[in-house]
Structure 1
Amino acid sequence: MKIHKRYISALVALLFAVPVMAQVPAPAPKQSKPVLLKGATLHVGNGQVVENAAVGFENGKITYAGPQSGANLSGYEVVDVTGQHIYPGLIQPNAALGLNEVESVRATIDWREVGELNPNVRSIIAYNTDSDIIPTVRANGVLMTQLTPIGGTISGTSSVVQLDAWNWEDAIVKADEGMHLNWPNMLIETGNSRGNERLKRMQEEREKTMLELEKLFRDAAVYKAGKHDSKNLKLTSMTGLFDGSQKLYIHANYGKEIIEGVNFAKKHGVKNVVVVGARDAVAVADFLKANNIPVIYSGVHVLPSRAEEDVDMPYKTPYLLHKAGILFALDYDLAIHGIRNLPFIAGTAAAYGLDKEQALASVTLNTAKILGIEKQLGSVEVGKDATLVVSSGDLLDMRTNNVTYAYIQGRHIDLNNKQKYLYEKFENKYKHQQQPAPAGATSSAGK
């Protein structure tokens, strides 16, 4: 069948009419020349603040971070950011970013596997680097995330990725760094006879799950000791829990569940444990401190867990954890679209007791320490990756946050995204509608 040239021309015109700005920006090329940012206030991420600072980086690594007066400008492409602020790139832990696009469309959801015990499931191979949501979180300074599977009792392993890559292999910062265990909920009697029948069934299910967990961890420990005849993928994937090369993230909120989960892990010889969620972390702070258990706290922008709690308890929990001497990080655990608000939950924590730089550490260096990447990321220091952001205002304040530059491993990142495109589109539309009609213009409706 012969296709008329007119139709081909129309198709080409239609393709070129698609707005480029609405698409996911292509990953930035590798850093080709040394860059030096000068004149800004540097927030190192470890509590230090340097006024009138400079930050230089070459081949993706930071070569200088300190007062501008001590920087050697020769050979560097100098970017003047006077009056602005330089921060480490923010890190979002415990997120399904890139594993889920539209919750109402099943084909875009790839964050869980069928079954209850899936230690061999790897979240990293399902990561979609072309997600429309990723550029929207980068625009607020979130440059890394921990890809976390959900569902079941053991969901699988998480990996840390940077948010500017062509594929999941290029995105990896640390692969399969931890396993996620959703601790079975404890059950409380209701006093209702009908409800207690249901409660009894649920209690039987919980006991069954606990027995399965006991067996799995015992089998894994025996397997790690080399007492096996054949390859077992599930047990092989758990060996890192016993030699400390892999963390066990226990998702639990209720205080007794936190204690039970941590004691279970210690009984089975798990070396590194992290509690995720941890709404009751303050109530069991002495236990967490005594056992050196870090926390990823997920409840800053939520309601209090109990009616008798202070209404601002979730806001001041980060300060109370810091006061108790517990290493903690913050995560935005609501819809993945809200991850762009990660800096603002740190800002809320700063308004309720935390020092501003301590709040910054809770979404940068503290997170890096918990994830085991602190030697590479989390602060703006010489030798670390040049993964940082520049904001014309306070990064943790939603009123003044305005990221003007972002770099991942020294690569200058495109900060455009679909939300910015739509904002500009409709801003221009309504500006145009508000313009007064030219003198002498006549409405067609009046004819």
Structure 2
Amino acid sequence: MKYKIFVSLFLVSCTTWAQVPAPAPKQVKPVLLTGATLHVGNGTVIEKAAVAFDQGKITYAGPVANAPAATGFDVIEVSDQHIYPGLIQPNTQLGLSEIEAVRATRDDQEVGILNPNVRALVAYNTDSDILPTIRANGVLLVQATPVGGTISGSSSVMQLDAWNWEDAVLKADDGLHLNWPVIPRPTLADAPNVAEVVQNRHNSLLELQQLFTDAAAFTMAVNKKQNLKLAALKGLWEGTKKLYLHANGAKEMIEGVRFAKKNGVKEVVIVGGYDSWKITDFLREQNIPVILSGIHALPNRTVDDVDLPYKLPFLLQQAGILFSLNYDGALHGHRNLPFIAGTAVAYGLTKEQALTAISGNTAKILGIQQQTGTVEVGKDATLVVSSGDLLDMRTNNVTSAYIQGRKINLTDKQKALYQKFKNKYEAQK
């Protein structure tokens, strides 16, 4: 009888664990993490460090010897562990899509071709089952981004522990996403259709130019009626929004950047950037950062080095280009973001350069570097504690994580299922 009661209680508890954990309450007492190796997120490493934070903000980050007195702090000993900034995943549909095969769970795309007025943040689902599995590997912030069409809409930077999208948003409408039309590269097989493809691309560019021209005129107009589509582009000229230019070919990137500059866009970011290593002089001259995608992939062309995608971060680092890394596979795989950086270490980057590419650099590119991205005084206490190397899948083990000083629950559905069946089979031994 006692065994049956235990099993029943265990199954009930598993059902509870399988739900998305409730968001953590606000920090009420100062916290002092002491004894760990601190990886600041800007290339700096401090051995035997301490990090203190209060009311969600970091008040100290440096050697233990200079740390504030422990009086009044909730002191947490983390010796032999590592403290990292919370990792940031840019250009993702996390929170916007749940199950790819179920249309009702996907809210990442709007109908139409030119949708600058679409806002991803209002569709962001804080109850997604995927989010807890992502933050369990140290990813605590994402750039929720719409897809589809030529202009997909506006992305927003969201944190992964909140009751609703209003609580989750860290930076609303940080930029518009433009999918630059691909230049046709015909083969003999599709030669008869080349003229049609070229004409369609030409028409798309004309429509895009007309939209920017109309939006510029709308911005300057004094007496104007409400037009959400045109008003959404205003931030591009004011510098309050970035233009995220999705392109992989060298010609497409150059063409897209020149289009943006000609139309008065203040800040442009390349997303994708497969051929960015070929045009580093151009990118430096124009001050264009890159969000690199497709690091774990085969090369796009048979003439490319077989390991070219793995080497791209190192090539951009050598050229002095500001870049960040983006995991662009299946949504549940976004927890592998730190391991993408780990691959870049195997192909030339130092560990701290790779960490910066998924923390400090990403924060700079998204325009949130004053709030987060590094473990420094005055910034949000959004950080991760791991007992091993966060970038190595063999030792990565996040023991605790904080978002704006709130210690978040690292339980997720997969951990609950693991524990459930582990107990089941151990009981049968």
TM class by shorter chain equals: over 0.9
Range moving further from structure 2, 16-25 or 154-163: 16-25
Q: Of the candidates 91, 94, 98, which is equivalent to residue 91 of structure 2?
A: 94
Q: What is the Cα deviation at residue 226 of structure 1?
A: 2.3
Match of 2:4 in 1: none
Query: CA separation in 2, counterparts of 1:15 and 1:41?
Result: 39
Deviations 1:4-54 (A, max 9, x none): xxxxxxxx9999576211110000000010000000000001111010100
Which amino acid in 2 is paired with 1:74?
T
Which amino acid in 1 is paired with 2:416?
Y
Deviations 1:65-118 (A, max 9, x none): 001111121210000000000000000000000100001111000000000000
Query: CA separation in 1, counterparts of 2:237 and 2:173?
Result: 15
Query: CA separation in 2, counterparts of 1:199 and 1:14?
Result: 63
Alignment of 1:33 onto 2:54: no
Query: CA separation in 2, counterparts of 1:417 and 1:184?
Result: 40
Deviations 1:243-287 (A, max 9, x none): 111000000011111111111101101000000011111011111
Match of 2:337 in 1: 342
Alignment of 1:53 onto 2:46: no
SS at match of 1:56: strand
Q: Highest Rg: 1 or 2?
A: 1
Match of 1:225 in 2: 220
Q: Of the candidates 351, 357, 374, which is equivalent to residue 352 of structure 2?
A: 357
Alignment of 1:269 onto 2:286: no
Query: CA separation in 1, counterparts of 2:154 and 2:223?
Result: 23
Q: Of the candidates 100, 104, 113, which is equivalent to residue 103 of structure 1?
A: 100
Q: Of the candidates 47, 56, 62, which is equivalent to residue 58 of structure 2?
A: 62
Query: CA separation in 2, counterparts of 1:75 and 1:229?
Result: 57
Q: What is the Cα deviation at residue 230 of structure 1?
A: 1.7
Query: CA separation in 2, counterparts of 1:123 and 1:261?
Result: 23
SS at match of 2:197: helix
Match of 1:440 in 2: none
Can you give the 5+ residue segments of structure 2 that lack an aligned partner in the other structure?
A: 1-7
Which amino acid in 2 is paired with 1:418?
K
Match of 1:7 in 2: none
Which amino acid in 1 is paired with 2:350?
D
Query: CA separation in 2, counterparts of 1:394 and 1:338?
Result: 19
Query: CA separation in 1, counterparts of 2:9 and 2:351?
Result: 52
SS at match of 1:19: helix
Alignment of 1:21 onto 2:17: yes
Match of 1:438 in 2: none
SS at match of 1:150: coil
Q: Of the candidates 116, 119, 124, which is equivalent to residue 119 of structure 1?
A: 116
Q: What is the Cα deviation at residue 228 of structure 1?
A: 5.5
Deviations 1:301-355 (A, max 9, x none): 1111111111111111101101101000001011111110000000111111111
Match of 1:3 in 2: none
Deviations 1:392-442 (A, max 9, x none): 000000000000010000000000000111122222333334x2xxxxxxx
CA contact (8 A) 2:115 2:151 kept: yes
Range moving further from structure 2, 18-27 or 118-127: 18-27
TM-score by length of 1: 0.92
Alignment of 1:133 onto 2:130: yes
Query: CA separation in 2, counterparts of 1:17 and 1:325?
Result: 52
Query: CA separation in 2, counterparts of 1:347 and 1:14?
Result: 38
Query: CA separation in 2, counterparts of 1:147 and 1:162?
Result: 10
Match of 1:382 in 2: 377
Query: CA separation in 1, counterparts of 2:202 and 2:223?
Result: 28
SS at match of 2:50: strand
SS at match of 2:88: strand
SS at match of 1:181: strand
Query: CA separation in 2, counterparts of 1:417 and 1:48?
Result: 32
For these two proteins, the number of residue pairs brought into alignment is: 421
CA contact (8 A) 2:14 2:416 kept: no
Cα RMSD after superposing both structures: 1.5
Can you give the 5+ residue segments of structure 1 that lack an aligned partner in the other structure?
A: 1-11, 436-447
TM-score by length of 2: 0.96
Q: What is the Cα deviation at residue 197 of structure 1?
A: 2.8
Match of 1:209 in 2: 204
Match of 2:3 in 1: none
